[in-house]
Structure 1
């Protein structure tokens, strides 16, 4: 049986098909020329060919653009103008370059992340060795999948600003907290802010990693810490020395307090930890009232354990404060309440000097040293939390937040 003859196409259709084949061939040839090694083509010839390709790609089909992108991805370092056109194209075109081109410039990547979509940005976040300037731009877009991809990419470089922004973001995206703990760029000031909204396991990890002793600092300024020696008389230097020294309690506050000692104030708090008693405990323990309010209103109990350990109070004091806050100390079976048990474990796990480091970082971070983004995240729930503890403390907390942002 003879084969059926092909149906002849109209002249116009044959011409159009021929033109499409010619354009596809031209695109392939020009892409081949652009990809020639430097020994075969100079920079000006490569730039001229790239410009021709950019013009042709404006009217090229999706399949043709994908083929050109796949070809250029093998080059590793495609010409900038050509790369920008392809990077901001649809994902199927941009993907080969984002995943395989090793030497895309920061300028090209930033242009892509601002002009393309979320999946483009996620692929940029996964690139090997993506720089701080690019990661900062990605983080500023406030997209959780992109932030997660960056934190999982051990070869991505994060700036101090970027880490601060991610810590603040984790306030509403708690699954980012464990990923932040994996990063070498995380500083103690970041971790101790992250602590306040982290889960119990992450909190324990923060304390184990960042609750460090201050032995080297104490040795370096030992003569300045000597009470008999004249120390610096400016407030900032005094604040730094207070952070370093071993003395946690405030003897001046004890002389002025109606309780006379921290132990007596804690004993009074067992019946009911009122705002007035809480403020006295804060002063006696060398804390600002705003720090004490944050500790007393935290539902987890770990900060309360840090307060007791750092100030040299026994475990019984922790239980007394727990009862004074009207918290359940035993469950229905008569066993120690889970949250209190966790607080007691933290109390036993840290030495006094390490607990002091944590407490002093908190005391410092409540009033200075934080970026507006971190402070905003830290204050996010303060209004409702302070309502539960003390309405008079609320204006102080909110005013602190407003003053810092000026």
Structure 2
């Protein structure tokens, strides 16, 4: 065995401590190494201290060399050492990313310091880490103060409920259309996403008014309050085009569907003239007395200016708020809403012979929304649920597949989500 001089067997006491160049703060007091088991820990600390020296006192090359040595040392270090290094490096903007990525993939006790707080990790680092760690790690990433949409996409693809909920609650997370669409699809069978999604600024009318169909009562009210808007600007902008479309015989299907959404009048006068019933109210009277039939659903739908598929969705909706929207938008009085409620086999009274609380809630929804705003919602539903129902989209719905928006449009996605939803 080679004998070492006494002076070399311990750390020299006259070695100056490392200091921060700006504040003068001592980064690490030099302490004697007392035993062999402590050597690795002390060496790891010294190497971390070197990495933390300000750029004015250390070249990038030396910093990265120290980092390379530290990486090798950490491979066999115990968890206390690794956590100590993670805490030391977490707030350093110039820490070698190789070390940070390794620590970010470590045991959650070590990784949490890096994943939640390190400012040196790039989006590509976070995405790489997210692909190779546990759900517990991904949840910590979801808590970061700022998250780009690309990182959010990487986290959402694992469909982990607690991770997605954490992201939705994080105001610093940015959501792409892809992530929102994925979560919207998941929300059909996981109720907590619905209210959380409705609080996101990124949510579009197509998302909210689609999600309405499986939302709870309170969230439905918030959706209608947020997305039931007037169409005054659209109507003013397109008003002169109705005459032009009429001159062309309404031959352009795309123009016809778009202008139907903008039009002020809700009831279809031509359908009323062709109907075997005297009017919309008369059809509802008969439905209230004898119950709804397929023929009555079709007639009520056509006279209300909507397609039978939309009418069936509204008339079979278990919540009832959609009935309020239908009645308000078509100018039906409150008593017609109550009769339509009976027509869909809903009890108007509870066991105490008082007005049923569900009917009371639906009447409140009717009273709160204006006619113009109700028409906006009803027309949007009709457009989104029926304008893209071609053979391809119907095949997607039958197979439970959501079509791609770039190929079939937003309306096709809405139709697939709503008509493909298995209730109960």
Q: Judge conservation of contact 1:177–1:198 (CA < 8 Å) in 2.
A: yes
- Residue aligning to 2:277: 259
Partner Cα separation in structure 2 for residue 77 and residue 196 of structure 1: 50
SS of the residue corresponding to residue 213 of structure 1 reads: coil
Which deviations, in whole Å up to 9, do the C-alpha atoms of 1:316-341 show, x marking residues without a partner? 21111111112100112222111111
Which of the numbers 159, 162, 178 marks the counterpart of 1:145? 162
Which of the numbers 21, 26, 29 marks the counterpart of 2:46? 29
SS of the residue corresponding to residue 211 of structure 2 reads: helix
SS of the residue corresponding to residue 300 of structure 1 reads: coil
- Residue aligning to 1:54: 71
- Residue aligning to 1:41: 58
Which of the numbers 343, 348, 360 marks the counterpart of 1:324? 343
Which of the numbers 244, 255, 275 marks the counterpart of 2:262? 244
Partner Cα separation in structure 2 for residue 38 and residue 80 of structure 1: 16
Q: Judge conservation of contact 1:273–1:321 (CA < 8 Å) in 2.
A: no
- Residue aligning to 2:418: 378
Moved more, 87-96 or 249-258: 249-258
Q: Closer, same or farther in 2 for the Cα pair 1:239/1:163, shift >3 Å?
A: same
Work out whether 1:361 is the aligned partner of 2:401. no
Shift of 1:34: 1.8
Which of the numbers 228, 234, 243 marks the counterpart of 2:252? 234
SS of the residue corresponding to residue 270 of structure 1 reads: helix
Q: Closer, same or farther in 2 for the Cα pair 1:372/1:352, shift >3 Å?
A: closer
RMSD in angstroms over aligned alpha carbons?
2.2
SS of the residue corresponding to residue 306 of structure 2 reads: coil
- Residue aligning to 1:217: 234
Q: Judge conservation of contact 2:206–2:414 (CA < 8 Å) in 1.
A: no
Unaligned runs of 5+ in 1: 1-16, 386-406
Shift of 1:20: 3.6
Moved more, 123-132 or 362-371: 362-371
Shift of 1:45: 2.7
Pairing 1:267-286 to 2, within 5 Å after superposition: 267-271=285-289, 272-286=291-305
Shift of 1:147: 1.2
Partner Cα separation in structure 1 for residue 180 and residue 229 of structure 2: 21
Q: Closer, same or farther in 2 for the Cα pair 1:237/1:380, shift >3 Å?
A: closer
Q: Closer, same or farther in 2 for the Cα pair 1:329/1:105, shift >3 Å?
A: same
- Residue aligning to 1:399: none
Which of the numbers 325, 337, 349 marks the counterpart of 2:368? 349
Work out whether 1:134 is the aligned partner of 2:151. yes
SS of the residue corresponding to residue 163 of structure 1 reads: helix
Partner Cα separation in structure 2 for residue 77 and residue 223 of structure 1: 62
Partner Cα separation in structure 1 for residue 151 and residue 233 of structure 2: 37
Pairing 1:56-205 to 2, within 5 Å after superposition: 56-205=73-222
SS of the residue corresponding to residue 339 of structure 1 reads: helix
Q: Judge conservation of contact 1:164–1:374 (CA < 8 Å) in 2.
A: no
Q: Judge conservation of contact 2:287–2:296 (CA < 8 Å) in 1.
A: yes
Shift of 1:264: 2.3
Which deviations, in whole Å up to 9, do the C-alpha atoms of 1:298-317 show, x marking residues without a partner? 11110011111111111121
Which deviations, in whole Å up to 9, do the C-alpha atoms of 1:148-201 show, x marking residues without a partner? 111111111111222222222222221222222221111111111111111111
- Residue aligning to 1:396: none
SS of the residue corresponding to residue 172 of structure 2 reads: coil
Shift of 1:210: 1.0
Partner Cα separation in structure 2 for residue 183 and residue 329 of structure 1: 36
Moved more, 247-256 or 267-276: 247-256
Count residues with an aligned counterpart: 368
Partner Cα separation in structure 1 for residue 127 and residue 414 of structure 2: 25
Q: TM-score, normalised by structure 1?
A: 0.85
- Residue aligning to 1:390: none
- Residue aligning to 1:403: none
Q: Closer, same or farther in 2 for the Cα pair 1:230/1:300, shift >3 Å?
A: same
Partner Cα separation in structure 2 for residue 241 and residue 51 of structure 1: 66
SS of the residue corresponding to residue 366 of structure 1 reads: helix
Q: Judge conservation of contact 1:83–1:108 (CA < 8 Å) in 2.
A: no
Q: TM-score, normalised by structure 2?
A: 0.81
Q: Closer, same or farther in 2 for the Cα pair 1:127/1:371, shift >3 Å?
A: farther
Higher relative contact order (CA 8 A, sep 6+): 1
